[in-house]
């Protein structure tokens, strides 16, 4: 018995003039039972099942056997750019097909502050996602109404769909990604303030305000810039301040501890031994 090739009948599609240059193309298709081959495409593709339930087998970028599944309204197939697929349906079905230009996902990634160079999508033959489904129904309604809202509306839906794909389904390609650091001016203001106030209570929140970043963002940026967490940086600067004061030999160890910002003498002694390998008394006697 031969293999039946499925036939595709377009019902409602984006206009040819608009789709020629638009970053999104969409259409509602009636597909007969049989086998349908989808060759690799430079576009990202999604198929939203919008008709009656149908038993089907969909293989897309998989090296293992794909089980026969019941596809219901709202089920989504994700086929990234460069991926091919083979779909075998046991009965007719209706599908909303959406194609997205990779540039649209890059635009969404840029607006979301993601590194667009390290983003990739993985094929998924059957997923459920309420947000994607909601956008799909809006596209379906727009196509069936004859696209009264025009190309800007379609592209807005495409951008929203791309943002969802980036935030939920993008995976990181292996390889180094650049780490963000504090701009030189902000870093200098922060370190200057630390040096001028080593003997005081250096509030993390105040330092973040000086740098002009949120508390959590500042902690990460400072660590990337200085190479150590902020509290370790402050300890190192206080130990250096204590070393200089002890080397002068003018003040007792207890006063040096407070002048360098340590809570008490033993607190300073512990960190001096850890970082310098000597005791405060050694530094004091060496300076005299």
pLDDT in tens, 208-256: 999 988 887 888 899 889 988 899 999 999 999 999 998 888 889 999 9
d(CA 206, CA 223): 17
Distance CA 241, CA 255 (A): 12
Pick the CATH number of 184-287 from 1.10.800.10, 3.20.20.100, 3.40.50.970, 1.10.10.60: 1.10.10.60
Indicate if the pLDDT at residue 123 is higher than 80: yes
How large is the average pLDDT for residues 151-177? 81
pLDDT confidence band for 115 (50 / 70 / 90): low
Tokens 């303030």 -> residue: 193
Distances (CA, A) of 206 to 104, 174, 184, 225: 39, 37, 18, 18
Which single residue is written with the structure tokens 């025009």?
150
Q: Is the Cβ–Cβ distance between 79 and 59 less than 8 Å?
A: no
Other CB atoms within 10 Å distance of the CB of residue 285: 11
Bridge partners, residue 127, by sequence: 76
- Per-residue confidence at 171, pLDDT binned at 50, 70, 90? confident
Q: Would the pLDDT of 107 be above 70?
A: yes
pLDDT exceeds 90 at position 58: no
Residue 201 confidence class, pLDDT cut points 50, 70, 90: confident
Position with higher pLDDT, 64 vs 275? 275
Q: Is the pLDDT of residue 60 over 70?
A: yes
Longest dimension (CA), the chain: 101
d(CA 190, CA 274): 25
Full-prediction pTM beyond 0.75? no
Q: How far is CA 110 from CA 103, 114, 163, 166, 252, in A?
A: 10, 6, 10, 10, 57
pLDDT at 3: 63
Structure tokens at 72: 């219901």
Neighbours of 144 (CB within 10 A): 11
Break the chain into its structural domains and give their ranges: 8-172, 184-287
Residue 1: per-residue pLDDT: 46
pLDDT tens, residue by residue, 22-52: 889 999 999 999 998 888 999 999 999 999 9
Residue 19 pLDDT class (50, 70, 90 cuts): low
What's the rounded Cα separation, in Å, for the pair 181 and 179? 6
Third-level CATH fold of 8-172? Jelly Rolls (2.60.120)
| E strands present in the chain | 8-13, 24-31, 34-38, 44-49, 54-60, 69-71, 76-79, 85-89, 93-100, 119-121, 124-127, 170-172
């Amino acid at each position: 018995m031969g293999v039946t090739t499925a036939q595709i009948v377009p019902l409602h599609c984006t206009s040819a003039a608009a789709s020629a240059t638009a970053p999104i193309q969409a259409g509602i298709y009636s597909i007969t039972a049989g086998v349908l081959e989808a060759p690799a495409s430079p576009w990202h593709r999604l198929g939203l099942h919008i008709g009656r339930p149908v038993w089907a087998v969909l293989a897309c970028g998989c090296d293992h056997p794909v089980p026969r599944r019941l596809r219901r309204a709202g089920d989504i197939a994700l086929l990234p750019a460069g991926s091919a697929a083979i779909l075998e349906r046991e009965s007719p079905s209706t599908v909303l097909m959406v194609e997205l230009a990779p540039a649209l996902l890059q635009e969404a990634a840029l607006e979301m502050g993601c590194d667009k160079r390290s983003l990739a999508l993985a094929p998924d033959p059957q997923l459920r996602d309420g947000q994607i489904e909601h956008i799909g129904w809006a596209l379906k309604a727009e196509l069936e109404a004859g696209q009264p809202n025009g190309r800007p509306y379609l592209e807005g839906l495409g951008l929203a769909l791309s943002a969802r794909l980036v935030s939920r389904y993008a995976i990181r390609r292996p390889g180094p990604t650049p780490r963000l650091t504090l701009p030189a001016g902000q870093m200098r203001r922060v370190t200057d303030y630390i040096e001028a106030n080593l003997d005081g209570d250096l509030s993390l929140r105040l330092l973040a305000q000086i740098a002009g970043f949120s508390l959590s963002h500042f902690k990460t940026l400072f660590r990337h810039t200085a190479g150590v967490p902020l509290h370790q940086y402050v300890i190192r600067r206080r130990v250096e301040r204590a070393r200089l004061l002890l080397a002068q030999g003018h003040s007792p160890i207890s006063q040096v501890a407070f002048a360098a910002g340590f809570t008490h003498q033993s607190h300073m002694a512990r960190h001096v031994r850890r970082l310098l390998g000597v005791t405060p008394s050694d530094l004091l006697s060496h300076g005299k």
